[in-house]
Amino acid sequence: MIATLTGVVSEKLEELVVIDVGGVGYGLFVCLEDYGKLTVGKDAKLYIYENVREQSYDLFGFTKIDTKKLFEQLLSVKNVGPKVSLAILDIGSSDNVRAAIASGDVKRLQTAKGVGKRAAEQIVVELRDKVGELVGANAENVVGRAGVNQTDEAAQALVALGYTEADALTALTNVDKNLPLEQRIKEALRG
């Protein structure tokens, strides 16, 4: 098993980055964020994910172990393969992708090539709780966006009742945040 590769970035092709390690060029699929960080002629260390199939042997490289872990979490979702996982990582930084999953932002996930509504919903359902902790730990690095606050149980309850995230937030804007949870939900439903 290849865990890491350290060498010189010899080429940046359309889909691949080639890392020269002791005279052997390894072609690695990388996300857009890492593609932008890597410079031809400079040394680089990448964490490797190997995808061995009957017809191919593909290597996926990541400059941060954290990004590789998110990639592997995405792979754990039913019907999400390595190319789709990489496409999801291309929609933003790993922290932004985690934030989109944790907040249930299906539309943001659908902007990834090859991700439809059903796949995006499946990713949210299966990974929301798993990536939420990481978002909290890295909250200062996450770009904020409008969405359901994961600590606001009233908003989550409204979404569970069929409200969209935007409608849930709108319904709760004039409701006192200090009211008990059930009262906040009732007030939002009346409004």
Query: Domain spans of the chain?
Result: 4-62, 65-141, 153-190
Region 109-133: mean pLDDT is 86
pLDDT in tens, 39-60: 999 999 999 999 998 888 999 9
pLDDT at 140: 39
Q: Give the pair of three-digit tokens for residue 89.
A: 């990582």
Q: By C-alpha distance, which of 24, 20, 73, 76 is closest to 46? A: 20
pLDDT at 45: 95
pLDDT in tens, 12-45: 998 899 999 999 999 999 999 899 899 999 999 9
pTM: 0.67
How do beta strands 43-52 and 4-12 pair?
A: antiparallel
Q: How far apart, in whole angstroms, are the C-alpha atoms of residue 88 and residue 101?
A: 10
CATH pick for 153-190 out of 1.10.8, 3.30.70, 3.40.50, 1.10.10: 1.10.8
pLDDT at 158: 76
Distance of CA 56 to the CA centre of its chain: 25
Q: How far apart, in whole angstroms, are the C-alpha atoms of residue 40 and residue 53?
A: 29
Domain 65-141 has CATH 2.40.240.10: no
pLDDT at 136: 42
Fold of the domain spanning 4-62:
OB fold (Dihydrolipoamide Acetyltransferase, E2P) (2.40.50)
Q: Are 29 and 61 in contact (CB under 8 A)?
A: yes
pLDDT in tens, 156-167: 777 777 777 777
